[in-house]
Amino acid sequence: MSGRTYYITTPIYYVNDVPHIGHAYTTLACDVLARFMRLDGRDVHFLTGTDEHGQKIEKAAAAAGLAPQAFTDKVSQSFRDLIRTMNYSPDNFIRTTEPRHYASCQALWERLVAAGDIYLGKYAGWYSVRDETYFVEGETAIGSDGKRHAISTGAEVDWVEEPSYFFKLSAWTDRLLAFYENNPGFIGPDSRRNEVISFVKGGLQDLSVSRTSFSWGIPVPGDTKHIMYVWLDALTNYITECGYPDTSNPLWKYWPANLHMVGKDIIRFHCVFWPAFLMAAGLEPPRRVFAHGWWTNEGQKISKSLGNAIDPIELVKTYGLDPVRYFLLREVPFGNDGDFQKRALIGRLNGDLANAYGNLCQRVLSIIAKNCGEKIPAKGPLHESDNALLDRARGLLATVRAELDEQAFHRALTTIWEVIADANRYVDAQAPWALAKTDPGRRDTVLWVLFETIRRITMLLQPFMPDSASRILDQLAIAADRRTFADFDHELQPGAMLPKPQGVFPRFVEAAAKAAS
């Protein structure tokens, strides 16, 4: 596994508004995977960025009284700021307004033309500016406001008639179905895979891939009256980053991507349009696309009209960064929709982090400091109970690796917390504070077993809670260069000096938060 490439991407975020919890959630999932794979010896490239073209951006910029480029510069920066706030670790941040991206998109277009998959025609149909999506008659309906809306998204649609280039998507129905059959892991979770296959089996229509009614976008090569369809433009970012069309670029080694992480609302673009574009151009599709669910807020759908958007920056200010990172990936099975509830977050913070994990670390390290001269204790003969706990801790790496390969973050964390619970029960059963008087040798063995268990748990929590895990590993005197999974089974020798233990996860008290605000 060591040295193998791992290319993971977020969708590039549309800059018509500021970041919200959905953006934070997607990028967090990618960040955890990127960090895990780096610790596991993989050659990782983690990409995020912003999608900055299209009619919706042109309108939003005009409403803000700004030129489109100035508008996108401003909003794109807010997504960069979120990276710092949430402690993400991308290797690059791409913008679709970069010159290299123009070159990449136009090169891909020319490949599609050369393959005979693009032709000039006329588009007449329903179009949603908000969704940047075309809809057929049966996918729309008249709403209570008397206007026509897309049934799936609720977005208002307008009748559009204009010259357009088309991609021969209808010719790809059988080839896409064969691709899904031969690559069963391409779409996750299974519910989304079933949705996509059903959609494609229903028959595909040729896709309009250019517009003439606005100018903010990438011109079609040889016909600059046409602007490329924003989704053809946006999806191409994933190969732009790898140097396309220059496949001798050192970054081309990362293509095809191991994983595109997306929200469920854009699964068709990534699992129908994108592989068809790529295969038509003679390029490999990505290995996997995973679509996660949406968050509601205290049981209500999040919407501008309700004013109940969840600001990730405010969450971090109130509850702390790592507790928020932990909660978002622990609370809901990844891939499902989830309801954000403050009481649930506080419950996780106080129950899982402060009481279970934090208390385990604090009391074990405090007992060691008091009874073992602030040194890693010596190991004596191991009892059955010792080996049972150690075996569970040793097995965590393989289990977590397998769960993250399936993007099952919640199951990975549940498994880790089961071992934390085992360790807390082991402390209570062994009572090392009592052994200090009756059997110091046994006391030291018990504390060594707990020390090793905490070390392994904490190493695996680095991708999820990097700052907190780093502080705990510091208290375990683990050198910075001994924290990768290559050292997971490298048991520490007794006698090393340990720093003074300090709590890492304070309890959250609601009244204190109210007073602070």
Predicted TM-score (pTM) of the model is 0.93
Tell me the C-alpha distance between 415 and 403, whole Å: 10
Which phi and psi angles does 305 have, rounded to 5°?
Answer: -65, -35
Task: Select the CATH number that applies to the domain covering 342-487 from these four: 1.10.150.120, 3.10.20.30, 3.40.109.10, 1.10.730.10.
Answer: 1.10.730.10
| Amino acid 517: pLDDT | 47
Residue 211, strand partner residues: 227
| Amino acid 2: pLDDT | 57
pLDDT tens digits, residue range 145-192?
989 999 988 889 999 888 999 999 999 999 999 999 999 999 999 999
Buried/exposed 480-491: b ≥16 CB within 10 Å, e otherwise: eeebebebbeee
Give the CATH fold of the 5-293 domain: Rossmann fold (3.40.50)
| Amino acid 306: pLDDT | 73
Checking phi first, is residue 373 left (phi over 0); if not, alpha (psi -120 to 50) or beta? left
Tell me the C-alpha distance between 277 and 358, whole Å: 49
Give the residue range(s) of CATH 3.40.50.620 domains in the chain.
5-293
405: how many CB neighbours lie within 10 A of its CB? 14
Residue 497's SS3 state is: strand
Which tokens is 431 given?
Answer: 């009572």
| Amino acid 104: pLDDT | 98
- Give the Cα-Cα-Cα angle 127, 335, 488 (nearest 5 degrees): 135
Look-up: residue for tokens 């018509």?
16
Where the chain has pLDDT below 70, the residues are: 1-2, 304-305, 511-517
Tell me the C-alpha distance between 110 and 245, whole Å: 11
Angle of helix 55-63 versus helix 68-86 axis, rounded to 10? 100
Buried/exposed 493-515: b ≥16 CB within 10 Å, e otherwise: eeeeebeebeebbeebeeeeeee
Select from 505, 325, 462, 497 the least CA-distant residue to 470: 462
Contact in structure between 326 and 348 (CB atoms under 8 Å): yes
Give the residue range(s) of CATH 1.10.730.10 domains in the chain.
342-487
Residue 122, strand partner residues: 163
Contact in structure between 228 and 209 (CB atoms under 8 Å): yes
Tell me the C-alpha distance between 17 and 262, whole Å: 18
- DSSP letter for each residue of 155-206: -B-EEEEEEEEEE-GGGGHHHHHHHHHH-TTSEESHHHHHHHHHHHHT----
Q: E strand or H helix at 6, and its extent?
A: strand 5-9
